[in-house]
Amino acid sequence: MKTDVAGRVRNLGLAASKPLFPLFEAVINSIEAIQDAKRQDGRIDIRILRDKNLLSEQEPSAGDVVGFEVEDNGVGFDEVNFAAFETSDTTYKAQRGGKGVGRFLWLVAFERVEVTSVFQSDGSLKLRKFRFVPEGEGIADLTVEETSKDLTQTKVSLLSFYSKYQKQCPKRAETIATHLIENCLEYFIRPDCPQIILNDDEAKESLNLNQRFEEEMLEKSSREQVKVGEQRFYVLHVRLHSPHIRDHQVHFCAKGRVVKSEKLVGQIPNLARRLEDHTGGDFTYAAYVDSPYLDQSVNAERTDFSIVEDDSELLAKAKTITWGSIRNEILQSCRVFFAAIHRSGSGQEANADRSIRRHRRADVSSHP
């Protein structure tokens, strides 16, 4: 059966407010490629591409973002991976939560996608190049040839944002870095997370995302379990010290990836815009919620869940889990965390403020 890539792309939904989702897909693909290669020195370099016609010498980081390059030293587009890439809705990564459609988001948001990859084949290294296009079966200008490269590697270039996504894309590297960490949080927690570097060549800025995660999130995070009906949900409470994150939010995840976010303003009374810990440092708050139930309920595009919103008496009697019942339990968990923060600020020890370093030693992809 052949794939009509144009039709597949046309049927995918991606809100203009989620311009970084295609980048998240590319980065997670790179993480998994490094895992497959079993590299101890895994590294991912992300480059921000800006519109050179709009660059300002005074503030180069204010130029419009037009695309990204994601380069890794993972296993590469070998024959198995390339065959999976050519197959729409492939089950190749099903055990990792992959739906086989994430790469199509690249074509939803960008005019051009170019891939260059060095991979192992019959005891030697080969170079595969192609363009991923929204027409025919999706592959254009494919070449495979011998190479003098001595390491496997892949570079995915997401080029020329479509206008509605470019307008919504954050411009500052620091903001993009924070969103990357937040959306790949479960990968950063794992002990085998590769080094991930975000480069903004125009601003001469290079951000180590692993280091930022350690400094800004890891030490002041805590994790707890709540139950909704018979289902277990795990809430990771995180303090975000970046001044560019303005809203307290709850992020609902599937297989460690953010799918749906809700602001807490209006849901928890008297919640200040910025919170303060016992050291006097201010932060915004984020809760990351994951559960086997959410993993099972996520849609193919990983942009929403098939869970009803209605919390009516009829559904309650049927013991149906709804967004209302999930939200109520998560908000209660948030309130307990905030109360602990206030007690800590008053000089009392807060049980909720324990380090999650021990969770890094466990594979969080399998829920306890």
Q: Select from 3.10.620, 1.10.20, 1.10.10, 3.30.230 the CATH code of 220-360.
A: 3.30.230
Check whether 93 has a pLDDT greater than 60.
no
User: In this structure, what is the dihedral angle of CA atoms 309, 326, 241, 60, given to the nearest 10 degrees?
Assistant: -30
- Confidence label for 361 from pLDDT (cuts 50, 70 and 90): very low
Do 220-360 and 5-215 fall under one CATH topology? no
> What are the beta bridge partners of residue 275?
283
Check whether 110 has a pLDDT greater than 90.
yes
Query: What topology is assigned to 5-215 in CATH?
Result: Heat Shock Protein 90 (3.30.565)
Average pLDDT score over residue span 167-196: 88
Question: pTM of the predicted model, to two decimals?
Answer: 0.67
Question: Tokens standing for 110?
Answer: 């960008």
**Could you tell me which residue, 188 or 176, shows the higher pLDDT?**
176
Q: Highest mean pLDDT range out of 154-163, 278-287, 309-318, 332-341?
A: 154-163
**Span 9-52, pLDDT tens digits:** 887 878 999 999 999 999 999 999 999 999 999 999 999 999 88
pLDDT at 239: 84
Check whether 358 has a pLDDT greater than 60.
no
Burial class of 256 by CB neighbour count within 10 A (0 to 12, 13 to 18, 19+): buried
**Span 316-354, pLDDT tens digits:** 555 678 988 999 999 999 999 888 877 765 443 333 333
For residues 40-68, one letter each, b for 16 or more C-beta atoms within 10 angstroms of the residue's C-beta and e for the rest, the string is eebbbbbbbbbeeeebeeeebbebbbbbb
User: Distance between CA atoms of 87 and 10, rounded to whole angstroms?
Assistant: 17
User: Distance between CA atoms of 288 and 251, rounded to whole angstroms?
Assistant: 5
**Could you tell me which residue, 57 or 100, shows the higher pLDDT?**
57
Angle at Cα 176 formed by Cα 365 and Cα 184, nearest 5°?
0
pLDDT at 49: 96
Are 169 and 20 within 8 A, CB to CB?
yes
For residues 133-171, one letter each, b for 16 or more C-beta atoms within 10 angstroms of the residue's C-beta and e for the rest, the string is bbeeebeeeeebeeeeeeebbbbbbbbebeeebbeebbe
- Confidence label for 127 from pLDDT (cuts 50, 70 and 90): very high
Average pLDDT score over residue span 154-166: 97
> Radius of gyration (Cα) for the chain, nearest Å?
21
In 3D space, the residue among 283, 273, 284, 68 whose CA is nearest the CA of residue 165 turns out to be 68
pLDDT at 359: 40
Check whether 119 has a pLDDT greater than 60.
yes
- Confidence label for 6 from pLDDT (cuts 50, 70 and 90): confident
Q: Is 253 helix (H, G, I), strand (E, B) or coil?
A: strand
Give me the sign of the Cα torsion angle 22, 26, 31, 32. Answer: positive
Q: What percent of the chain has pLDDT over 90?
A: 47
Q: What percent of the chain has pLDDT over 70?
A: 81
Neighbours of 12 (CB within 10 A): 16
**Span 135-155, pLDDT tens digits:** 888 899 999 999 999 999 999
User: Distance between CA atoms of 63 and 50, rounded to whole angstroms?
Assistant: 6
Q: Where are the domains of the chain?
A: 5-215, 220-360
pLDDT at 78: 93
Check whether 252 has a pLDDT greater than 80.
yes
Span of 1-5, 104-108, 158-162, 209-213 with lowest mean pLDDT: 1-5
